[in-house]
């Protein structure tokens, strides 16, 4: 039974890891495709971009929450069946520390994007219209915020890759 629970938790954990990496990867591709038109508002295109990027926020949160729950569940599962936490190899311990540090870095970036940048972008975008030319100052600030979000997403993608790679080293056996 322990192995079945472990397998389910690990499978869900791995799906969440892939989701955490996929979101910034696909967001980056969308943003890079949009950037070919430059920092000039194209209402319909930019609406799709904003709806897509901001619509992904709940998925990112779901994946991070799943990552935390399953990440805690794996050692707790071992504890329930053995009465002690599993002893870890030094390499696995270092990998866990690296993984946790970068997951917390991703959460920090997500908080900045979801709680600060996206609301500002939404507020600005409401002022734009398909039928009229945007105010140049608002348009410039809109694209400045988008640029900041893009840089943070690039960092988040790098962090997600580090999390994925460090996860592979968690399988090192105890000394």
What's the token pair of residue 158? Answer: 């790098």
Specify the pTM: 0.85
Are the CB atoms for 125 and 46 separated by under 8 Å? yes
Residue position matching structure tokens 């971009």: 49
Digit-coded pLDDT (tens) for 35-79: 999 999 999 999 999 999 998 888 888 998 999 899 899 989 989
When pLDDT is averaged across residues 143-148 and rounded to a whole number, the result is 95
- Find all residues with CB under 8 Å of 55, minimum gap 6, and list them: none
Among 8, 22, 130, 150, CA closest to 69: 8
pLDDT at 60: 87
* C-alpha to C-alpha distance for 170 and 93, rounded to whole angstroms: 7
Query: Is pLDDT above 70 for 97?
Result: yes
Give burial (CB, 10 Å; 0-12/13-18/19+) of 106: buried
Among 4-8, 25-29, 78-82, 106-110, which is the least confidently predicted range?
25-29
What are the domain boundaries of the chain? 2-171
Question: Is the pLDDT higher at 174 or at 86?
Answer: 86
When pLDDT is averaged across residues 153-158 and rounded to a whole number, the result is 91
When pLDDT is averaged across residues 106-130 and rounded to a whole number, the result is 94
Q: How confident is the model at residue 138 (pLDDT cuts 50, 70, 90)?
A: very high
pLDDT at 174: 56
Among 10-14, 26-30, 138-142, 148-152, which is the least confidently predicted range?
26-30
Digit-coded pLDDT (tens) for 9-39: 999 999 998 888 888 888 888 998 999 999 9
Structure-derived torsion over alpha carbons of residues 169, 106, 70, 82, reported in degrees to the nearest 10: 50
* C-alpha to C-alpha distance for 174 and 91, rounded to whole angstroms: 9
* C-alpha to C-alpha distance for 50 and 132, rounded to whole angstroms: 19
Structure-derived torsion over alpha carbons of residues 28, 59, 71, 3, reported in degrees to the nearest 10: -110
pLDDT at 84: 85
Q: How confident is the model at residue 175 (pLDDT cuts 50, 70, 90)?
A: very low
* C-alpha to C-alpha distance for 78 and 6, rounded to whole angstroms: 8
How many of the other CB atoms lie within 10 Å of CB of 129? 10
* C-alpha to C-alpha distance for 47 and 170, rounded to whole angstroms: 42
């Amino acid at each position: 039974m322990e192995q079945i629970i472990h397998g389910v938790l690990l499978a869900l954990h791995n799906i969440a890891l892939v989701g955490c990496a996929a979101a910034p990867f696909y967001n980056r591709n969308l943003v890079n495709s949009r950037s070919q038109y430059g920092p000039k508002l194209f209402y319909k295109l930019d609406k799709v971009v904003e709806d897509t990027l901001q619509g992904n926020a709940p998925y990112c949160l779901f994946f991070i929450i799943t990552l935390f729950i399953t990440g805690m569940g794996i050692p707790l599962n071992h504890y329930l069946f053995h009465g002690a936490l599993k002893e870890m190899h030094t390499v696995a311990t270092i990998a866990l520390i690296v993984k946790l540090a970068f997951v917390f870095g991703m959460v920090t970036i997500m908080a900045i994007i979801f709680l600060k940048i996206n609301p500002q972008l939404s507020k600005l975008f409401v002022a734009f219209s398909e039928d009229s030319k945007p105010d140049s100052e608002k348009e410039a600030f809109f694209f400045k915020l988008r640029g900041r979000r893009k840089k943070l997403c690039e960092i988040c993608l790098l962090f997600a890759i580090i999390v994925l790679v460090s996860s592979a080293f968690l399988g090192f056996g105890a000394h």
